[in-house]
Amino acid sequence: MGWITPLVLDTDAANLITAANISNITVINAVNTVIISSKTNGWWDLCNGIYGMAGDNINQTYAFQYKYNWKDPRDLDAAYRLVFNGTITQDANGITGNGASGSYADTFIAPNILSQDSAHISVYIRTDVQEAKYDIGSYNPGSNYISAIASRYSGNVNYDSINSGTANEISASNSDSRGYFLSNRTASNSNKGYKNATEVASGTVASVAPASSPNFLLCSVGGLTATHCSSKNIAFATFGASLTPTQITNMYTDIQNFQTALGRQV
């Protein structure tokens, strides 16, 4: 029997794997590979929050393993770990909402933690559902959506916004909510939406001051009140600074390869 070369883990991957108590070698390899690739391709350092929904449900439950922010895998609000509320299903495919108010994952990452004119949010969705719901977001009650993605809203429309008023959300026709959606603001007058690294929407509306309401996964939130909660399945999400088109392409490729390694790509 020959020697088995031990897996050399990236330090951040090792910290996450230890915190989440993951032992499945396929999951460990997938996590290690995507983190190394994210650093090589320049998007790791641009993220405040990375939620890869990686786990094996062996030593800990999926809910325990999925809560960690890959950038800082401590079980603290200050580390932006997820807190699940309401009825959220956690399984090998990620997290799934039930579409009811009060069912969401709190990231504790408010838009005002990010830059007003240099920010992105993204979400990888595995299920195709048309619904008047938001898949990720935060907004000022009664005034502005601060950051939001609705992959397939009523009328087959994809809405995106970062630090823009509700009347100024950018939009594009979209008849399939499956895929990787990213909203990117690179300047006070530039907000663009992407699906699978392809630009699908853009706008020049002036940015507004970011709010302090935290971003939620599986809904939007205003003043800590969850609204428009989604019933979709999310398998990855990020929050951070703005990205170049090349970084967006590489990010999608890295995340898609990660999902493929776990057998849950769309």
pLDDT tens digits, one per residue of 178-201: 999 999 999 999 999 999 999 999
- Per-domain boundaries in the chain: 11-261
Angle subtended by helix axes 245-261 and 25-40, to nearest 10: 170
Q: What is the DSSP letter of 112?
A: G
pLDDT at residue number 117: 96
User: How many Cβ atoms from other residues are within 10 Å of residue 30's Cβ?
Assistant: 22
Interatomic CA distance for residues 225 and 86, integer angstroms: 13
CATH architecture of 11-261: Sandwich (2.60)
Is the pTM higher than 0.75? yes
Q: How far, in Å, are 87, 139, 147, 167, 222 from residue 212 at the CA level?
A: 25, 9, 11, 20, 9
SS3 category, 127:
coil
| Token pair 């990620």: residue | 94
The H-or-E segment that residue 64 falls in is helix 62-66
pLDDT < 50 positions in the chain? 1-5
pLDDT, position 102 = 82
